[in-house]
Amino acid sequence: MPDLVFTIPTLPNDIYAQHRTAFAQVSAYVIMRKNERVATIAFKFPRDGAGRLYVYVHWLGQPMVRGYAGGYGYDKQTAACANAAHKLPTDIPPQDFADYGTAYRAFHEALATDGGHHWDRVLSNAGFDVLQAV
């Protein structure tokens, strides 16, 4: 008796292919602290690798900011994050949890660091969990 072989046809409107195409130049992250979502960070990569990389940083409860880095040959993600961090508000009102101000300042300072460590590692070292969503 011959082995049965199952194949899954690839359709022109295959949802996985559509997803890959739609998000080919995008990655998104959820930033957690003490099991609570506190921020999101999304990157839009240039098609050619040498153009501008944009980052959108949103600390929940504050206005979203956008930063960028251009060129090639270095860590543009971290540079773009540092650029965006300088646009984050510095005086923040108290929010729902007790250490909101402390957490926000730690996030702001870590993200503004562009000194040799990747942006997600710096946030992790500051006490945040970085989860990739896309």
- Taken in order 57, 106, 32, 127, the sign of the CA dihedral is positive
Helix spans in 29-134 (H): 76-85, 100-112, 119-125
pLDDT in tens, the chain (134 residues): 566 666 666 556 788 888 888 888 999 999 999 999 999 999 999 988 778 999 999 999 889 999 999 988 789 999 999 999 999 988 775 555 567 788 998 999 999 988 889 999 999 999 999 999 98
Domain assignments of the chain as residue spans, ordered by start: 25-132
pLDDT of residue 119: 96
